[in-house]
Amino acid sequence: MAVVEVVTSELVAPSEPTPRRPLWLSNLDLAARNGYTPTIYFFRRPQDSSDGRLRADSCFSTHALRAALAAALVRFYPFAGRLRAAGRGGRAEIDCNAAGALLVVARSAAALEDFLHDFAPSKAMNDTFVPTYDSAGPDAPLLLLQVTFFRCGGVALGTAMHHFVIDGRSAFHFIRTWSSIARGDTAAAPPSLDRTPLRARPLLTTAAALFDHTHEYGGRASRPAAVTAGAAAGSKAEYASAILRVTGAQAAALRARAGAVSTFRALVAHVWRCACAARALAHDAESRLYTMVDMRARLSPPLPDAFFGNAVVRTSASARVGDLLANPLGFGARRLRAATGHGDEYVRSLLDYLETADLATVPRQGLRGTDLRVISWLGMPSYDADFGWGEPALLAPALMYYPGFVYLLNCPGKGGDVAVAAALEPERMQRFKELFYEELAMLE
């Protein structure tokens, strides 16, 4: 792994005065991982499209990035705050104190292409391109950014955002705003910071939760989540990871084979089957697939598209391994559809359930060897990160957390290609990749 040398490290505060107030965190915020979500963007050196020469007006500028970040933090001022404990119960909230976000500038003697080729999320990639912090507890910045300049002129942007503050859609909204300001466009939609629509209902009773949430959120207890140091790197379980690309034509064929379902459901069903087979699970074993559903548009009334916070809920589907493997692809897709079709009542039930739960003990790390956890970034503006250099050559998670963790990602370009970033037990990964592509080849 190439050595990265830190050039500067500073806290960047909002460029204008911002509200100094506490920001209440919902139960969905506090049920998220108490730590950072690390991602990496790779950008090639900008060139003129006609003769291949460097565009003089599109060079990477740390001054422009810093100024744009300070301006973006005026709108997204919770990112410049710090977590703190509130009240007798010590429930976490954000102290919007304008303490600032961490911006690290680094350089590497390596070439960008050394990392683009066969990139796979790993601890080494995370440690190289994403800022580290001792803990995710009180006094820690909630937004960590690192810009690494390669000798070839390319750049890596590593980001780590505290999960109590944002979900995936909120994270991409911030990056899109920051990048648009950097290239001189200030028209991006401001974030909606009001989280009170996600309060639990009053006068709770034991019957308030209408759905069973124990698989996804564990059993009940009696105290709120406090501000504690969280493990940013997640579980220590060993894994192998890979990013597997699916062409637009293959994705369309998968959708047709699964019964005209969405790309998400068809692709997840395919991954589920391949993982069960690669793991050589017993046919009578139960496999559970956990995923997240964005509920912004499903609430009544709906949340704004620009809602800034956690508006995703965990849900899951289960099946016997033998049934998954013996039945057509549509079998798993139908199981997933039933688990991801919930609306407002599901969210209200979950918020009520979490109100009386010990949020510090909500399961956040590790899975049984039969299970998977899938996070989908499909359909999100993940490649709307044009700082004036063009869209990223690659966006990917910097780190996977444990075996069984999977991300679904859009690929750059307009061809409809998608990617699967998967982590499995090291001895199972090669077989998983073989099955993954053998099944796709049969569709062609």
Could you read off the pLDDT of 299-317 as tens digits, one per residue?
A: 999 999 999 999 999 999 9
Question: What residues contact 142, with CB distance under 8 A and at least 6 apart?
Answer: 78, 79, 80, 81, 82, 83, 94, 101, 161, 162, 164, 165
pLDDT under 70: residue ranges of the chain? 1-2, 47-59, 203-209, 220-236, 444
47/257 Cα distance (integer angstroms) = 41
Distances (CA, A) of 7 to 66, 130, 143: 14, 14, 19
Contact 232, 421 (CB under 8 A): no
- Output the pLDDT for position 389: 85
What residues does 307 pair with on adjacent strands?
192
- Triad 82, 85, 89: Cα angle to 5°: 160
DSSP state of 441: H
CATH of 7-198, one of 3.30.559.10, 2.40.10.410, 3.30.70.260, 3.40.50.720: 3.30.559.10
b/e map of 37-55 (b: 16 or more CB within 10 Å)? bbbbbbbbbbeeeeeeeee
Q: What is the pLDDT of residue 204?
A: 56
Start-end of H helices in 377-441 = 429-441
Distances from the Cα of 249 to the Cαs of 253, 263, 292, 443, 444, in angstroms? Answer: 6, 11, 26, 10, 9
Q: Crossing angle for the helix pair 429-441 and 263-278, nearest 10 degrees?
A: 130
Q: CA 116 from chain center: how many Å?
A: 20
Is the bond preceding residue 301 a cis peptide, omega within 30 degrees?
yes
Distance CA 168, CA 151 (A): 31
* Matching residue, tokens 């290609």: 417
The residues spanned by each domain of the chain are 7-198, 237-380+400-441
Q: Which amino acid is at 221?
A: A
- In angstroms, rounded to a whole number, what is the distance separating the alpha carbons of residues 137 and 142? 9
Cβ(206)–Cβ(413) under 8 Å?
no
- What sections of 145-298 are H helices per DSSP? 168-182, 214-217, 248-257, 263-278
Would you say the CATH fold of 237-380+400-441 matches that of 7-198?
A: yes
φ, ψ of residue 412 in degrees (nearest 5): -65, 160
Report CA dihedral (385, 386, 389, 392) to the nearest 10 degrees: 40
50 vs 66: CA distance, rounded Å = 30
Comparing CA positions, the residue from 254, 346, 335 lying closest to residue 294 is 346
Tell me which of 163, 173, 213, 270 is the catalytic residue: 163
Active site residue 213: no
Rounded to a whole number of angstroms, the CA Rg of the chain reads 22
CATH code that applies to domain 237-380+400-441? 3.30.559.10
pTM of the model: 0.92
- The percent of the chain in helix, strand and coil, each rounded to the nearest 5, is 30, 25, 45
Catalytic residue among 323, 358, 384, 386: 386
Counting Cβ atoms within 10 Å, is residue 71 exposed (0-12), middle (13-18) or buried (19+)?
middle
Say how far apart CA 126 and CA 132 lie, in whole Å.
9
Cα separation, 266 vs 278, whole angstroms: 18
Catalytic residue list contains 386: yes
